[in-house]
Amino acid sequence: MSQPPPQQGGPPGEQEGFGAPFEPQPGVYGAPVPPQPQPGPYGQPSQPQSQPGPYGQSPQPQSQPGPYGQPSRPPYGYPQPPTVPYGHPGSPPSSSPDGPSGGGRSRGRVAALVAAVLAGVLVIGAGVWFAVGGDDADDGKPVAKESAAPKKPGPGVTPAAGADELNKGRKDGEAKVRWVDRNGVDLPQGGARVRGPWFTGDIVAKAMYRTASGHSAEDGTRKWSLRLPADVCAAPTLPSPDGKVVIGLRADTSDGAPCDRLQMIDLTTGKAGWTATVERTGMQDGLSHIVMAINGDVVTVGRTTLTDAYRISDGEHLWGTLPGTCQPYGLTSGDIALAAVDCRKRPSDDDVGDEEVRRIDPATGRTVWTYKVKKGWKVDRFYSVDPPVVSLRQGELNEKWAIALLNPDGTYRAQPVPGKESFEVQCGEPGENLDDCIGAAADSDTLYLATKPAAGAERELTNSVVAFDLSTGKAKWKVPAPPAQTLHPMRVENGQVLLYLTPPPPTKEALNGGGIMALGPQGGALRPVLRHPASAAKAVIGLFDPTVRFVGGRSLISSGYITAETDEEEMDLRTMIAFGD
């Protein structure tokens, strides 16, 4: 990864790094920050301890330009969408992040190219606007169990295998496939992106296109379905501790409608709550590339010019434009609210202005501490919030990449020394949520990073995980993935880093199905935590743009984008696969 020059006023003799940040502001909000809970999956804000649920929260792994600006696709061995007009590899095959409006009877050339490499994906059932009930899938019958198949596919379409079939041939020591969810919704041309999933109690919920739905985390059956009046265009990575979420909707169903409507949803019941319209502050406030986050009872809606905050319990607007020229444009979800802050003099400035990382009080917008980023660099993502680990980018194409390791009070700590290694952390779409990455995790003294996959001895892609000392930035150890498989750090738990191990590609015999692995603080041999059955390897590989979640001994892999060449294939696509005993 690239190393930015030291910031003026940095530590004496420092050869690499960002230098010293501004001093924390005086008073109680400038005081050192006490220890906080460990970051959640993929180095993201931790899930509140009081929130139940059989799965951990984790962001959607999607593609992002790799080190040295080389575009790269997620090394999962999963099919990925073609490049679209965004100019960003891995973007969804549509004219907008959520697909165009309208019916989906004709898929067109782009969808045909995508479908050529798809085997299954994730979707939700449609319902009645602001009501629990009716669904577009199969006369309202659940589609999570093998016995509840979707409507009969057309000629030449082979129904996707369910849990019973995927468990055939399961070996000793391998977890069973608990349930498989299939799509049952006709989508617009090019398909649609899935927001979530979110977990609360025994419900796993998601939102896509013009629908939100909740499923049983135990067996996958659909518990509720809620029809929405327009396309879902933004959503936070995590729900609130009491199981509520606020999503962004487009103003109407026309193409290019602004993402300015907010809708609160109770994930336990599926009932819709308050709505609000985000007011534009001027022509520069385009209300696109929305960054949403939830911190306790507060939801924030960030974009290029500013951030608005609302109380989730009643929808009250808490704050908007803050004093001064510096404005946050995105926050992290969870126990700690870290903000990316833009300090350009005018929103219309073409040049990248000064940027900052701030910890803020989400209820008031007040600053707790500030770290000033080296001029010309911009905040890219947050790989961890406790301790703060910040990804920074520079250049028109984000071709330069660096990582800043901070102390809990926001002061500069160190920077990873990559040596000859190239690393790859995969995140969501550019300009969207800042806390949705996989491939990085951290605890109080170690950062774990996935290397960029490269061809191994048999010309199959494989990678390694490298551990860095947070105080010095130096590498401590390196552990390779098995041949033809890749490892991706998720989170640190009980002193061990949990990693997702992908199954081998379909061109190689699946001797194992991957699963959840663990490494101790000294590295060493990979320890299996939950083995996915080899019999389900091809089904897992077929999930499109996948999300991996694990907690309480169970794992869930779901698709992040839904599309197929025909309606029949689209309706029968696998969308989620749950593992565990």
Q: Which of 71-80, 115-124, 203-212, 559-568 has the lowest mean pLDDT?
A: 115-124
Give CA–CA dist 122/107, Å, rounded.
18
Other residues' Cβ atoms within 10 Å of the Cβ of residue 68: 12
423 in Cβ contact with 64 (< 8 Å): no
Order of strands, edge to edge, in the sheet holding 400-406?
A: 378-385, 388-394, 400-406, 412-414
As a whole number, mean pLDDT of residues 331-340 equals 97
Q: Cα 16–36–339 angle (5° rounding)? A: 60
Asked if residue 128 has pLDDT above 70, the reply is no
Can you tell me the mean pLDDT for 440-446?
96
Lowest mean pLDDT among 132-136, 394-398, 406-410: 132-136
Closest CA to 16 of 467, 420, 419, 448: 419
CB 108 within 8 A of CB 99: no
Measured distance CA(57)–CA(53) in Å, rounded: 9
pLDDT of residue 305: 82
CA dist 566 and 187 (Å) reads 10
- What pLDDT, on a 0 to 100 scale, did the predictor assign at position 1? 65
Residue 25, pLDDT score: 30
What's the confidence (pLDDT) of residue 576? 87
Give 529-533's long-range contacts (Cβ < 8 A, gap of 24+): 529/498, 530/175, 530/554, 530/555, 530/579, 530/580, 531/173, 531/174, 531/175, 532/174, 532/175, 532/503, 532/579, 533/166, 533/167, 533/169, 533/170, 533/171, 533/174, 533/175, 533/176, 533/177, 533/579
- Comparison of pLDDT for 87 and 337, the residue scoring more: 337
Which whole number is the average pLDDT over 9-38? 32
- Flag whether pLDDT at 528 surpasses 70: yes
**Residues 54 and 217 sit within 8 Å (Cβ to Cβ):** yes
CA contacts within 13 A on the Cβ side of 154 = 7
pLDDT digits (tens, 9 = 90+) for 92-104: 333 344 544 433 3
Q: What is the length of the chain?
A: 581
Residue 253 scores a pLDDT above 60: yes
Counts for the chain of helices (H) and strands (E), in that order? 4, 36
